[in-house]
Structure 1
């Protein structure tokens, strides 16, 4: 996956916010997998992945419906943002221990 910036996390959180609460964990895992797959594809071919884009988490998230971005006074958005960060932490830890 390409380097992760604030905008990537915000886009992923907006995709999660647009999803049903019971689907969010699985969707977050899928977004990270798609970004990783796309980044590998770009590295091997020099071209964008035809479905998942440039390997950024933002590109993977933007393939889905995004909720309008609320402020951090929205508890559900905060939970989605937190979920993305938790998944990214696990992903980064798994990469360093592989």
Structure 2
């Protein structure tokens, strides 16, 4: 997966806002896996992945419906943002090092 920036996290959190809380962890992990798959595809072929794009987390997220972006005064948005950060940390800790 390409380097993750604030906009990537925000986009993913906005996707999570559109689904029930019970589905958020799994959906976030899936978006991370899709971004990783796309990044590998780009590295191997020099072409965008036909579904998941260029390997950016934002591209994987934006292939789905996004809620309007609320402020951090929205508790559910904060929870979604936290879920994304937690999943990214898990991904980084479990990622094989080359």
- Specify the TM-score bucket, using the shorter chain as the normaliser: over 0.9
Structure 1's unaligned 5+ residue stretches are none
More helix by share: 1
Which has the higher mean CA deviation after the structures are superposed, 66-75 or 13-22? 13-22
Give the TM-score taking structure 1 as reference length: 0.96
**SS of equivalent to 1:18:** coil
Q: Does 1:53 align with 2:46?
A: no
In 1, Cα distance between equivalents of 2:19 and 2:33: 17
Runs of 4+ residues over 3 Å off in structure 1 = none
After superposition, the CA RMSD in angstroms is 1.2
Deviation for aligned residue 1:20 = 1.5
Unpaired runs of at least 5, structure 2:
none
**What SS does the aligned partner of 2:17 have?**
helix
Report the TM-score when normalising by structure 2.
0.96
The worse-fitting range, judged by mean Cα deviation, of 33-42 and 88-97 is 88-97
User: What's the CA shift for 1:38?
Assistant: 0.2
1:10 alignment partner in structure 2: 10
User: What is the count of residue pairs matched by the alignment?
Assistant: 98
